[in-house]
Amino acid sequence: MLSPRPSGKYDPIHPAMPMRPLYGVKPKLASTENNEGPLCIEKPWPGMALTIWEDHERFIKTYFADYPPYYFSGDGAMINADGHWKITGRMDDVINITGHRLGTAEVECALVSTYLEKIYSEAIFFTFFIFLEHPSHVK
């Protein structure tokens, strides 16, 4: 829905920011506190799902019930002073892995208390950095 490109030849590109809506997409913040809030879409766009197979009620409840009449992406976003968009993260703190919805607290618990098991098709990967001393470049 948002992407740094397409844009003008000399338009800036900021790291880790999708920045601009794709053609046909009209993003909107559901609340405008400090130019940050839930990322919604004002109208349908090309490529948008129209329903969930045999469960249209679930589709409406999942994507349109929180901020009617807007489509809610599930992400938080902010708009900077230049009008560029940045995704701030999931609003529900839930990750969908092979059809299982995992909260961040569940993932943290699993890292501490369980062992690895075979997972089919999707997985969560973590990278840990262990410092014996405080790195001098981090303030």
DSSP string, the chain: -EES-S--TT----TT--BEEPTT--EEESS-GGGEEEEEESS--TT-----TT-HHHHHHHHTSSSTTSEEEEEEEEE-TTS-EEEEEESS-EEEETTEEEEHHHHHHHHHH------SS----------SS--TT--
Number of C-beta neighbours around residue 14 at 10 A: 12
What domains, with CATH codes, occur in the chain?
Answer: 2-94 (2.30.38.10)
Q: How far apart are CA 102 and CA 106, in angstroms?
A: 6
Enumerate residues 6+ apart whose C-beta is below 8 A from 65.
none
Enumerate residues 6+ apart whose C-beta is below 8 A from 63.
71, 72
Q: What is the largest CA-CA distance in the chain?
A: 56
pLDDT of residue 113: 44
- Report the amino acid identity of residue 67: Y
Chunked in runs of 10, what are the mean pLDDT values of the chain (139 residues)?
A: 84 85 90 85 86 92 92 89 86 72 64 49 61 59
pLDDT of residue 57: 94
